[in-house]
Amino acid sequence: MSESAVTPISFHDEPALELVSGGYRAVIVPGVGSHVAELSKPGDGLSLLRTAPSGEVLRKSAQRYGIPALFPPNRIMEGKFSTPYRTYELPLNSSDGKDFMHGILHKRPWKVQASGVLENGAAQAVLVMHMGQDGEMFAYFPHEFTYELTYTLSEEGLHQQVRITNHSGEPMPLGVGFHTALRVPFHPEGREEDYRLTVSVGQAWGLTPSFVSDGTLHPLEEADQALRHEGIRPTGAPYAKHFTGEPMEHLGRRFYGAVLTDTSRGISLVYEADPAYGHWTIWNDDGQSGFICPEPQTWTNNAPNVELPEAVTGFRLLAPGEVWTASTRLYVESK
C-alpha cells in the first residue's frame, strides 16, 4: 500500500477503479453513479464508509452506502416546481410515491475521462456525466449539461472536486449534494457508544411529516446544540434532521463540515466541505445500522418551492455557458 496506483478491479460484480496513495485506499464504481464504494486506511485498519454488501444492493440502494452524487439533492414536493423560464414535473420516486428524491445521476453509468498517478504521487480519477437531448431524463429536465467529478487521493485524504457546466441556452436549476454514509465504528475494535459527531450547523429547518422543508427556520434544540460542541452520539436511536450551515471552530480554526470521532482512541474522520454546501441533512436510518450520513447540500430540501430568498434556501440558476465548482475532502486526524 506504500506506492500510489490506479488499478481496474471489480467491486462485487461491478467494474471499479481502485485508488491507492498516502496510506489511503478508495474504490470508485463508475457504472453506478461514480459511487465511492470504499474509503479506508488499511495500515491502520480503518474502514471509513458504509459499504454495500453486493453489487445488487448497490444498484438498488446506492443512496444508502458510500458516497453517491445527488443532483438535485433530497426531496422536491410532488416533483413539481417552476422557474421564470419553465415548469418542471419530475418522476415521483420516493418510497411513498409522493415526491421526487435523490436526483437523476446517482444510479446512472458515468464515463471515466482520465485516471492515473500525478507527478506529486497522488492517485486521481476524473469521471464525467454528459446529459444531452437523447437521455431519458431530458423530457423532465430539458437541459444539456456536463457534471464532472475529480477524485484525488493522497496523504491528505480523498479530495473531491465538482465541476458542472450548463451547455443549454437556458438557465438551469442547480442543486448539488452527497449522501455520505460514514461507518460507525470505523475502527475494527471501536464501540459505537464511544463515537461522537459534530457538524457545522446553524439553524434547524422545519419539516413536514414526509421530511420536506416547510419554509420555517428555528434555533437549535438543546440536544442538537451539541452538534457544534461536544458532539452527538451518531447511532443508537433514529436521527433525521435538516439544518442550515454555519462555520464552527475545529482545532482552533474556522471550519465547515463534519467530524466523526472515536473518543476512546482520539481518531477522527474529518469531512471538510466548501461553504457552497450551505445546508446539511443528518440521517442514520433506524439508528441500528452502523452508519451516520452527514449530507452536504447546496440548497435546502425542496428549495425550489420554499418561499424564502434564494440567499436563505440556496436555490440558484446556472446561466448558459456558466461553470460551477465546489470541493470536499475526507481525511483521518489523530489527536
Q: Using CA atoms in the order 319, 321, 322, 325, what is the torsion angle rounded to 10 degrees?
A: 130
- Confidence at residue 303, expressed as pLDDT on a 0 to 100 scale: 97
Phi, psi of 196, deg, nearest 5: -135, 145
Q: How far apart are CA 183 and CA 180, in angstroms?
A: 10
Quick one: CA dihedral 246, 251, 257, 263, positive or negative? negative
CB 122 within 8 A of CB 154: yes
Residue linked to cell 464504481 = 29
CB 332 within 8 A of CB 183: no
CB 200 within 8 A of CB 255: yes
Report which residue type is found at 306.
Answer: V
257-293 pLDDT per residue, tens: 999 999 999 999 999 999 999 999 999 999 999 999 9
- Confidence at residue 210, expressed as pLDDT on a 0 to 100 scale: 87
Q: How far apart are CA 88 and CA 225, in angstroms?
A: 37
What total number of domains does the chain contain? Answer: 1
The residues, any chain, with a CB within 8 Å of residue 14's CB and separated by 6 or more, are 29, 31, 32, 55, 58, 59
Of 211, 209, 210, 228, nearest to 219 by C-alpha is 228
Quote the mean pLDDT of the chain: 96
Q: Which domain holds residue 114?
A: 5-334
What CATH number is attached to the domain comprising 171? 2.70.98.10
Give yes or no for residue 20 having a pLDDT over 90. Answer: yes
Nine cell digits for residue 100:
421526487
- pLDDT-based confidence at 179, cuts 50/70/90? very high
Nine cell digits for residue 85:
423560464
- pLDDT-based confidence at 2, cuts 50/70/90? low
- Confidence at residue 190, expressed as pLDDT on a 0 to 100 scale: 97
- pLDDT-based confidence at 175, cuts 50/70/90? very high
pTM for this one? 0.96
